[in-house]
Amino acid sequence: MCLQLTPHNSRRTVYLYSFEPLLLRSLHEKLVQIPSMRKPRRKPTKAETGEAPPSAPLTPEERRHRTFQRAIKLLAARSRSVAELRELLHQSSAATVKVVDEVLARLREYGYLDDERFAFGYASLKLRQKPLGRQRLKRDLVMKKVDKGVIEGALDMVFAEVSEEEQIDRAIEKRTRIRGRPKNRLQAKSLFDHLMRQGFPYELVADKVRSASKTGLDEDI
């Protein structure tokens, strides 16, 4: 490599050829060893960056208090079964198995949690809103994580007050008021499928659809 130098106020040009490799290496090593004149960059504090300092671990009493308050808020939103509430409480980082068990036990003691009352109240409310069959209500309560034995007992009490036949008559009346009575097999099949989805038993649905239809339907509905 050749460097071309032109001194100030001079017409002469001086050519400086590259240093020898050993000389260049020696010069590089000396430059590296020279300490930097710049001050090392200071790391900003957490207060300056806006980061919150690490919080101290929660005490067992704080965990119980937070979990209990969360349970009250969840129950205030709507009624829930014990298993359903347990699952929601375990989603909190403050909850442990022991804390959740203690909170649920206290809620039972205070009367805030009762699966039998919950199942009966849920089924009764649904029937007031629209006519449904026993199987539909049973399926819904299973989704709410209520024990099957509790479900059967609650539904026995509910349908002791109003029979499934009364419920299916309400369902057919509501449907035919909007769409009219089935006039052909296709319409009868549509009504049949609707009543089955509402959870009414097969034999009861078949009998009611035949009675509601204006055309004679065979046994293969």
The CA-to-CA distance between both ends of the chain, in Å, stands at 99
Residue-level pLDDT, tens digit, the chain, 221 residues: 544 445 555 455 444 444 455 555 554 555 455 555 555 677 766 556 656 556 678 888 888 999 999 999 999 999 999 999 999 999 988 889 999 999 999 999 999 999 999 999 999 999 999 999 999 999 999 999 999 999 999 999 999 999 999 999 999 999 999 888 898 999 999 999 999 999 999 999 999 999 988 644 444 44
Q: What is the DSSP letter of 59?
A: P
Note the pLDDT of residue 49.
Answer: 63
pLDDT value of residue 17: 47
Pairing mode of beta strands 14-17, 2-5: antiparallel
Burial class from Cβ neighbours inside 10 Å (0-12, 13-18, 19+) for residue 164 reads middle
pTM: 0.68
> DSSP assignment of 155-196, as one string?
HHHHHHHS-HHHHHHHHHHHHHHHH-S--SHHHHHHHHHHHH
